[in-house]
């Protein structure tokens, strides 16, 4: 997770947009509302009994035909991606999207109007810190059938590149890149949805483009425009005449960018990856993206993040000079070798402390604790955590050398994996309640090799030594 502290953000006041859903053709009123910290993104159907809420979560994706569609307990949200892209692009963490129909208004087929609505509402900082998933390894998902692939690699901020190959003369290969999210508004948000004439014909035959008049989609003409099709299009789009421009698109609108199709695909990637539920710090490279591959990748990433969160493995730079070395620790703690079980303090605040210990074969306890197969005793890992926590509590008194720390209670102690010679143990202790009368109640974790080794709830008290 992130080491840069950024506050969460929501909108300052609610704002409403009206329009029609592209696929449902239904009139819809959509209101963006401020939401509390750690709320994330969610949709609320106010036209249904009980006003059910559907979180923007990759695990609720049920269908990706012509848009990313979510469903929770039978309640549906269709084509969620354009509004979610605007929310991410405008750097919002918490928002409630209320609608009186299943599908947000298509507007002009881009995110532009949603961005404008968010700007109109204003943006406010909130009390809590934003959580960000910092990508440290390459993570990929490939759809063998379509050859589509999405990869995320480490980077200093969230970046997206899309590479699109439609295999048609009118629209060959296009690329688009967003180097920083701050550029979303100007570079990406006005890129509209598009389709090919052959798709439009099929959709018209099945009555599937109900809200899609020609003002909200770029139509690439990838085949001969027959007279019957022309007539159908005129009726569907309520136009007296329709023609093809020299660049191969119908004359309903003018491109905002030469690579508008690739930019819209990039917009879709951002909207679909909003379903991961956590900010991403890394560069996403999407080759032939589509809603199916985007949402499969979102599911995979969200699962990886959940597992890492569960293990709560913090990342610390062990090569940096420590906050306290072993000499400073001995000035504070009464423990001495061989019973001093913490080598360094890496971090400390009013409510948490991080320490570390290098476990070597020279530890005296290995003499008796399975010398043929040395394992650090779990109780000593708990003791090491307690000593680290002792530094946190002793730091609250002006003369720590005059105090001793005693255990009062241990709860929910779990040993998850062995600690062996050569391992580096990192201890993280967080206060569960403020220190009162020298009593310290902490949640402790010990990590080894990037995994949680031991956890325990500890209570200890510092007592002044009588001279």
Residues with active-site annotation: 291, 369
Find out whether 347 and 354 touch, Cβ atoms under 8 Å. yes
Residue 293 has a CB neighbour count (10 Å cut-off) of 24
Find out whether 233 and 199 touch, Cβ atoms under 8 Å. no
Exposure string over 92-107, b if 16+ CB within 10 A, otherwise e: bbbbbbbbbbbbbbbb
Find out whether 126 and 37 touch, Cβ atoms under 8 Å. yes
183 contacts: CB under 8 Å, gap ≥ 6: none
Distance, CA of 206 to CA of 199 (rounded, Å): 11
281 contacts: CB under 8 Å, gap ≥ 6: 2, 132, 133, 134, 135, 155, 156, 157, 158
Pseudo-torsion of CA 333, 339, 342, 343, nearest 10°? 100
Distance, CA of 358 to CA of 163 (rounded, Å): 47
Phi and psi at 60, nearest 5°, equal -95, 5
Cα within 13 Å of Cα(285), Cβ side: 8
* Nearest Cα to Cα of residue 85 among 158, 149, 140: 158
């Amino acid at each position: 997770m992130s080491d840069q502290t950024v506050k969460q953000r929501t909108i300052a006041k609610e704002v409403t947009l009206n329009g029609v859903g592209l696929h449902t053709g239904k009139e819809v009123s959509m209101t963006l509302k401020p939401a509390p910290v750690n709320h994330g993104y969610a949709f609320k159907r106010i036209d249904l009994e009980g006003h059910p809420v559907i979180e923007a979560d990759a695990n609720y994706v049920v269908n990706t035909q012509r848009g990313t569609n979510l469903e929770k307990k039978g309640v549906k949200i269709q084509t969620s991606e354009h509004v979610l892209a605007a929310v991410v692009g405008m750097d919002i963490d918490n928002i409630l999207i209320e609608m009186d129909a299943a599908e947000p208004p298509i507007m002009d087929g881009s995110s532009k109007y949603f961005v404008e609505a968010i700007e109109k509402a204003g943006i406010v900082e909130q009390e809590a810190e934003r959580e960000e998933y910092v990508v440290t390894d390459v993570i990929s998902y490939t759809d063998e059938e379509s050859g589509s692939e999405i990869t995320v690699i480490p980077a200093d901020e969230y970046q997206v590149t899309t590479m699109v190959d439609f295999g048609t003369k009118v629209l060959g290969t296009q690329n688009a890149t967003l180097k920083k999210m701050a550029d979303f508004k100007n570079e990406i948000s006005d890129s509209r949805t598009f389709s090919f004439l052959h798709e439009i014909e099929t959709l018209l035959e099945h009555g599937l483009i109900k809200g899609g008049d020609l003002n909200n989609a770029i139509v690439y003409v990838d085949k001969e425009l027959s007279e019957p099709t022309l007539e159908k299009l005129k009726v569907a789009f309520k136009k007296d005449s329709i023609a093809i421009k020299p660049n191969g698109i119908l004359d309903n609108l003018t491109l905002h960018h030469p690579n508008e199709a690739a930019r819209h695909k990039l917009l879709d990637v951002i909207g679909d990856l909003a379903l991961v539920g956590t900010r991403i710090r890394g560069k996403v490279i999407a080759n032939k993206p589509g809603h199916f591959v985007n949402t499969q990748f979102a599911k995979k990433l969200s699962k990886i993040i959940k597992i890492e969160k569960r293990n709560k493995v913090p990342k610390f730079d062990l090569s940096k000079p420590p906050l306290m070395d072993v000499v400073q620790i001995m000035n504070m703690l009464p423990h001495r070798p061989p019973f001093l079980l913490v080598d360094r303090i890496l971090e400390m605040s009013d409510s948490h402390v991080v320490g570390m210990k290098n476990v070597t074969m020279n530890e005296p306890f290995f003499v008796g604790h399975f010398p043929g197969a040395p394992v650090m005793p779990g109780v000593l890992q708990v003791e090491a955590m307690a000593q680290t926590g002792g530094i946190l509590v002793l730091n609250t008194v002006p003369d720590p050398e005059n105090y001793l720390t005693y255990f009062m209670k241990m709860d929910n102690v779990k040993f998850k994996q062995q600690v062996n010679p050569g391992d580096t143990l990192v201890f993280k202790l967080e206060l569960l309640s403020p220190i009162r009368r020298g009593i310290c109640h902490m949640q402790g974790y010990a990590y080894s090799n990037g995994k949680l080794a031991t956890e325990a709830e500890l209570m200890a008290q510092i007592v002044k030594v009588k001279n």
